[in-house]
Amino acid sequence: MRSGMKRFLIRFFLFSSLTFLVSGSCTMKRLSLLPVEDPGMITPINRPFSSSGTELLYKAQINISGNHYSGLFAIRIFPDEMYRVVFLNELGMKFFDLETGSNGLIVHHCFDAFQRTGIRKVLEETLNTLFLTGKPFEKGEALITHSGDYTVYPVTSGGKKFCFVSNSSGNLERIVKQGCFSKKMIIEFADYNQFPVDIHISFPQKKIEIILHSLENQHGNTLSE
Amino acid sequence: MRKISFFVTLLLLILVLIPYGYSQQEDFTPMQDEDKFRDELTGFNRETNTLMSDFRQVKHLDILTENIISRGKFYFMKENKLRWEYTDPFDYTIIFNGNDILIRDEDRESQYNTDSNRMFRQISRLMSNVIRGEILEEKEEFSVDCFENKREYLIILTPTTEQYQQFFQKIEVHFGQHDMLVKKVKFIEQSEDYTLIEFFNEKRNETIPDSIFLIQ
């Protein structure tokens, strides 16, 4: 009984210390940001994917717990904020064909390896955050960095907490989904050419990573005939 | 009145041309002598030690208004060495050497073994059998229908197993009648999306350095 109590106290002490450290580090981060005095001065966020009728093609790499899949990521933006995404390998074999929008996720095709519930959930979450679909994303009060180059918004969607970071042009550079103690999902956008050229999506706790690189922008010409 | 007669003429023209266009596409008839085709193919395979060719791949996705085009080269060496190399618009190479597979995706290299990866085993076997024209060996997983026209043989493979059915509704393979070389392959999915691979500059039994199939 006594040893049980001892173990409990040790655990309680460790947990309290950890909580103190984590909350301390969050406060430190918050301190480096300033409130926006005149909201009219900041550039509103541009949605990374918004033009209806647009078709985009990315070279894609997906790493899931040590398994590597590569191929092409075709995105079609439909009216009413509906998005269709097809991931296929270089030989043309489809891994998945998913549709997301206000009606949730529709699976048109899904290869065995992506069928597992956990993976499907990750894909749904990725697409909803990437295209800002699903439950509404509600922005809190904006904060700016000391240099004024970046604006940071606390965002909530369906009870989940996010942090959006946009640059001075209003382009989203980073979306972070916050967990209790660590980041659950990080999406980084880089090098915009109307649409993001490079996108890096990671789920640190699940060892899942999606890397996209726009093919059209790299070669300066269209792939299609 | 003139307008009406113009539209009537146009309609008649369309009605006349549609069946013509249709028959141009569908001018294949069931093969008269399948045994002859099989013998020719067996002879061709027996005498083929190497094959190399350029290829153009067209990926049609119903969601996209335009097709995705990629190009590259393939090399085959008997018995089971195959190098499939995309050069445009991305660099991607897949080498099958016996049971070993090497994938070079721009800067990244990954090695696999067909014994431990069912999907790669199937792709490897299917690709090499299609290119070598040994598709008739696929009878365990596909039903085979043979057609011909004046220039080509057309073999349609319809998958009978779930493993292949999740990828393909059917595979169409076109052989040149004069040289028995595969001219094009069309992988048609259940959704009617397809991948069409057309072969150009085909070279048979030319020396290919063994090193291009090397997996280290």
A84 φ/ψ angles, rounded to the nearest 5 degrees: -120, 130
Cβ–Cβ gap B166/A111 under 8 Å: yes
In sequence order, what are the beta bridge partners of B146?
B155
Q: How confident is the model at residue A10 (pLDDT cuts 50, 70, 90)?
A: low
pLDDT-wise least confident of A187-191, A210-214, B17-21, B42-46: B17-21
Q: Is B87 on the interface with A (CB under 8 A)?
A: no
CB < 8 Å to B68, chain A:
57, 72, 74, 223-224
Q: What is the 8-class DSSP label of residue A44?
A: P
The tokens for B35 are 């045994």
Average pLDDT, chain A: 80
User: What would the pLDDT profile of B36-73 be if each residue is shown by its tens digit?
Assistant: 998 888 888 889 999 999 999 999 999 999 899 999 99
Upstream peptide bond of A204 is cis (omega within 30 degrees of 0): no
| Per-residue pLDDT, A207 | 87
Name which of B185, B183, B211 is nearest B75 in CA terms: B211
Answer whether A70 sits within 8 Å of B92, measured CB to CB: yes
**CB–CB of A108 and B191 under 8 A?**
yes
**Could you tell me the pLDDT band of residue A39, with boundaries at 50, 70 and 90?**
low
Q: Considering only CB atoms, which chain B residues are within 8 Å of A59?
A: 90
Residue B76 CA to residue B142 CA, distance in Å, equals 23
pLDDT at B19: 42
Query: For chain B, what percent of residues have pLDDT higher than 70?
Result: 82
ipTM confidence score:
0.77
Taking an 8 Å cut-off on Cβ atoms, the answer to whether B69 and A109 are in contact is no
DSSP classification of residue A137: P
Cα–Cα dist A189/A46, whole Å? 12
pLDDT tens track for B120-170: 667 767 777 777 667 777 677 889 999 999 999 999 999 998 878 878 899
Instruction: Give tens-digit pLDDT for A135-156.
Output: 888 888 888 887 778 899 899 9
Assign 3-class secondary structure to B125-151.
HHHHHHHHCCHHHHHHCEEEEEEECCC
Q: How far is B114 from chain A (nearest CA, A)?
A: 15
What does the DSSP assignment read for B12-68? HHHHHHHHHHHHHHT--EE-S-HHHHHHHHHHHHHT--EEEEEEEEEEE-TTSSS-E
| Domains contained in chain B, CATH given | 2-213 (2.50.20.10)
Residues of chain A with pLDDT > 90: what percent? 35
